[in-house]
Amino acid sequence: MGKALFILGIPLFVFLLTGLAGKKLKPFATGIIGTIGIAIATLISYLIACEYFFGIGKVDGKFQEIIPWTFEWLRFTDKLHIDLGVLIDPISVMMLVVITTVSLMVHIYSFGYMKGERGFERYYAFLSLFTFSMLGLVVATNIFQMYIFWELVGVSSYLLIGFYYTKPAAVLASKKAFIVTRFADLGFLIGVLILSFYTGTFDLSELTANKGSLVVATTAGASFMGLSVATWAMALIFMGGAGKSAMFPLHIWLPDAMEGPTPVSALIHAATMVVAGVYLVARLFPVYVFAAPDVLTMIAYIGCFTALFAAIIAMTQTDIKRVLAFSTISQIAYMMTALGVSGYGGHEGLGYMSSMFHLFTHAFFKALLFLGAGAVIHAVHSNEMANMGNLRKYMPITHITFLIACLAISGIPPFSGFFSKDEILTSTLENGHYILYITLTVTAALTAFYMFRLYFNIFWGKREKTYEHKPHEAPLSMCLPLIILAVFSCVTGFIPFSDFVSSDGVPFATHIKWSVAVVSFNVAMIGGLVALLFYARGSFASDLIVERIPKLYHAALRKFYMDEIWMFITKSVIFKIICYPIAWFDRHVIDGTMNALAIGTQRISSSIRVLQSGRVQFYALVFVLGTLLLTVWALYM
């Protein structure tokens, strides 16, 4: 288990090497170094997964938390200290596998995709930095380490979104992503501080041990504005998670983040970083369940709303990467909802398990979708659907793999998405959240619709499409990851996930609930068939619908004006009401005080500096007179 440290160390080393010496090396060499490094890390994480699940296995029928390495970094009090360490438990092992696999695929893929780009070595250095930070995040032993790496992934995401820094849109998008997530992280930080103030520890194992009893005990009775302190803390922590995972209303940065290179979108903005929020909630799950159940319910409803909301927007977008971005938001919202409705322990914790399961399967098929979209963009040099069509003839491998991913995300058996989505729907139903169940089922239909809309628009055609340059199949370096990920998308659904991951570490048995499965299969088929009808043969039925409900269509096309609303809130409300008075206060009261002190000091010193005449005789006179006065005082007073 000690080799877990290497998983972290290798990407960091590669980052330093390629980041510092990248200019000296040939671009290709930096790519090779990065890829080999991540390949080794992938191998180690697979070994760890085998060893953890099959070598060490269950102790007392339960998967234990293992901390193979830790060291104390900062000590505040005897109990309160920040450690840096490696925590191995089922979900962190799962995340290690997901991150390293997708990262490896993206590294290989980027050879083809980024070939000849300026800043190739910078790109690989940032990829390594991101991989390191993300791995550090998932193996964090304490919530503060998690926060540190949380910010690091934010930074590397910022750097990679702004990779084409000469493009204004990319710069704006990177700034937007950074500011929005940073704003959310403020909540996270405050939540962490509140939590640690009451519990006196940052340690995740201590916080979650014994059904979160530490949090329950220490925050008992403390309340603020009518809500318990635990609720506040956990809601604020969730705010950080919502920012990273693009939950409504903090989702606005993710679509814009598509300005980055497509493999980056696949790695960061589809498979790994954006699920950090889900991972955070899952990490603190016992605390949420037992100390702040209200927050959990809130998470479920926010997730459900976001899922529907993003799916509706995704139906109208024409930029293929934006469709995928909104689909990502929607799918992550599924995971959040599942966590929100979940209970703790055994079959009660089905939602937790299904959330993690969906995270696992989604990472592969969504990365596959992005990489496939990247191959298409690579071929036609455009992001717009209007410029595509009929590509199945030119790009057979991309076509097949993309189809597999579409089937997986739509929830068509036997592809992976079916199994995980089915578990999520089952968990909402079994926990009695009928509204959530219906909404998510509708969303599943919408998902199938927009995915097949995308698929048909790209690979089938309204008419014979002519291209200036004949589109070509992607090179081997790009096809290989597509094929591997397609295989993953086919088989990961068959993993008996509940044998490995559960809310309390004790495996339990799950069965496909046929009533749910049949319904979800049928709605997915309906969604897919509608898309087939609308788009496959160039029928214009879709235009009719647009004419029927133009307002809704345009609202969805403009993403329900969320960007404008945020703009209005920041510009008119936050700036005018909060920032300007604060700026005034800072400029006049705080600076004024300082200036007054400075001017006062200057005045006083310029008036007394006359005493420092530089004339020794005057000094001597004062000295003698002073001595005489002291003598008199000593003798007669």
Question: CA separation (Å) from 107 to 124, 197, 388?
Answer: 8, 42, 26
**C-beta separation of 427 from 341 below 8 A:** yes
Place of tokens 């991972």: 279
Interior/surface letters 470-509, b for 16+ CB within 10 angstroms, e for the rest: ebebbeebbbbbbebbbebbbebbebebbbbbbbbbebbe
Question: For residue 258, which of 153, 181, 176, 155 has the smallest C-alpha distance?
Answer: 176
Q: Rg (Cα) of the chain, in Å, rounded?
A: 29
Task: Give the span between the Cα atoms of 132 and 111, in whole angstroms.
Answer: 20
Query: Which residues of 278-393 form beta strands (DSSP E)?
Result: none
Q: How many CB atoms lie within 10 A of CB 620?
A: 10
Identify the three-state secondary structure at position 298.
Answer: helix
> Where does this chain bind other proteins (CB under 8 A)?
609, 612-617, 620-621, 624-625, 628, 631-632, 635
SS3 content of the chain, % helix, strand, coil (to 5): 75, 5, 20
Tell me which DSSP letter residue 577 carries.
I
Distance of CA 512 to the CA centre of its chain: 29
**C-beta separation of 324 from 254 below 8 A:** no
Take residue 113 and report the two structure tokens written for it.
Answer: 């995709």
**C-beta separation of 98 from 359 below 8 A:** yes
Angle between helices 143-161 and 229-244 (to 10 degrees): 30
Q: How many CB atoms lie within 10 A of CB 532?
A: 18
Task: Give the span between the Cα atoms of 425 and 307, in whole angstroms.
Answer: 13
**C-beta separation of 92 from 83 below 8 A:** no
| HEC readout, 545-562 | HHHHCHHHHHHHHCHHHH
Identify the three-state secondary structure at position 618.
Answer: helix
Take residue 603 and report the two structure tokens written for it.
Answer: 């005045």
Peptide bond into 11 cis (omega under 30): no
Task: Give the span between the Cα atoms of 3 and 104, in whole angstroms.
Answer: 18
Question: For residue 343, which of 504, 505, 210, 515 has the smallest C-alpha distance?
Answer: 504
Any residues with CB less than 8 A from the CB of 598 and at least 6 apart, and which? none
**C-beta separation of 276 from 148 below 8 A:** no
**C-beta separation of 355 from 339 below 8 A:** yes
Identify the three-state secondary structure at position 227.
Answer: strand
End-to-end CA distance of the chain: 82
Task: Give the span between the Cα atoms of 465 and 487, in whole angstroms.
Answer: 30
Take residue 304 and report the two structure tokens written for it.
Answer: 């459900």
Give the chain's length: 637
Task: Give the span between the Cα atoms of 100 and 40, in whole angstroms.
Answer: 9
**C-beta separation of 472 from 336 below 8 A:** no
